[in-house]
Amino acid sequence: MAKTEVHDGRLVVEFTAWERIFTWRRRLEVPLEAIKAVRREPHPFLTPHGVRIAGAEVAGVGKAGIWRGRRGRQLVAVRSGRTAVWVVTEGYGEVLVTAPDDVIAALEAVT
């Protein structure tokens, strides 16, 4: 599971080794000012939309990669049985990552 935290006014996501292969990045940093919307996702496997550009899905285990649809680009790194946070940003597009409840609460407080 990616390490997700709010630190120094930024959402910071550090991807695990297997997630790095499918998301094409080691780390993602988003300034809190660039976050336009946040939503808690109890069932994150259903959220990705559009066509998967890169990535993989292991049924019942995890999903990671980049999707592209009508709403733009979506970076996904989620694990089964865990709550995720869906974040709409200025610049990148949408980010859907598994996150602890305290991080989700901090992000919800921003918007």
* Each residue's pLDDT tens digit, 54-96: 888 787 788 999 999 888 899 999 988 889 999 999 877 999 9
* pLDDT, tens digit, 9 for 90 and up, residues 4-28: 999 999 999 999 998 999 999 999 9
Domain that holds residue 34: 3-110
pTM: 0.88
pLDDT of residue 13: 96
- Written as six digits, the tokens of 32 are 């809190």
Confidence of residue 105 (pLDDT cuts 50, 70, 90): very high
CA distances from 23 to 95, 96, 102, 106, 108 (A): 11, 11, 24, 24, 24
Q: Are 94 and 40 in contact (CB under 8 A)?
A: no
Tokens of 25: 């990045």
Number of domains in the chain: 1
